[in-house]
Amino acid sequence: MQKLDILQGKQESNDYPYGSMKCYITFDVEFKPKKGYRYVTQTTNPKTGCVNKPKKGTYTSFMCLQREKNGHVSPFSLWINGYEDIARMIEFLTLHDITFTEEESQFLWAEVITCIRGNARYTKLAEGVEISEFLDTTRAAQMIEKFKNYANFNEIKDIGFDLDALNALKE
C-alpha cells in the first residue's frame, strides 16, 4: 500500500461539473456509531443558487477523504471482513496519521473483534492446531481489552497482529 494524500474534515470546490456549468460542491465523510462511515456530497444548483439534497453513499467499516494525483477529492474506504482486511487496516494506519473519536474507536474495535470471532468459527485449521492457539495468534484477547478500556483505535498497530503467523496455522 502506498501513502495517500489524506484530507481532514469537509472539503469543497467551486468548479464541479453540473451539466454544461460549474457549481459549488462539498465532500464529507459521515460517521454513525452503529453503522460506520459513508461518503456524502452536496452540490448547489448554479442556476438557482439553491442547495441540492445531499447524496449519501453506502456505509463501510472505515472511510476517509483523499486527494488524488489529478487534484480531485475522492473517498478511500476499507471493509473489515477478514484477517487480510485487518492487516490492510493496520498497514494503512502505520502509513497515515488518522485521528479517531472515542465513538469511532469503539466502533472499529468492535468491527475487528466481530470479524475475528466470525471468521475463526469457519477457519479450517491445520492438523494439530487448537482453536485456542489460533485465537491467541489473532490477538483477540488484547483487542477485547483495548475495546473495554476505550483505547484509541490507532493502538491496533502495537498489538502485534501477524497475518503470516495466522496463515501458517490454517489448512
pLDDT digits (tens, 9 = 90+) for 105-141: 999 999 999 999 999 989 999 999 999 999 999 999 9
Domain-ending residue, one of 50, 78, 106: 78
Q: With cut-offs at 50, 70 and 90, classify the pLDDT of residue 96.
A: very high
Q: Within 8-162, where are the H helices?
A: 83-95, 102-122, 131-138, 140-148
Q: Give the domain extent around 104.
A: 83-169
- Residues 64, 93 within the same domain: no
Distance CA 2, CA 10 (A): 23
Distance CA 78, CA 89 (A): 7
What are the respective helix, strand and coil percentages of the chain, to the nearest 5? 35, 30, 35
Angle subtended at Cα 97 by Cα 85 and Cα 78, rounded to the nearest 5 degrees: 25
Domain-ending residue, one of 78, 97, 125: 78
Q: Give the number of domains in the chain.
A: 2
- Looking at residue 121, its pLDDT comes to 87
- Looking at residue 11, its pLDDT comes to 97
- Residues 73, 89 within the same domain: no
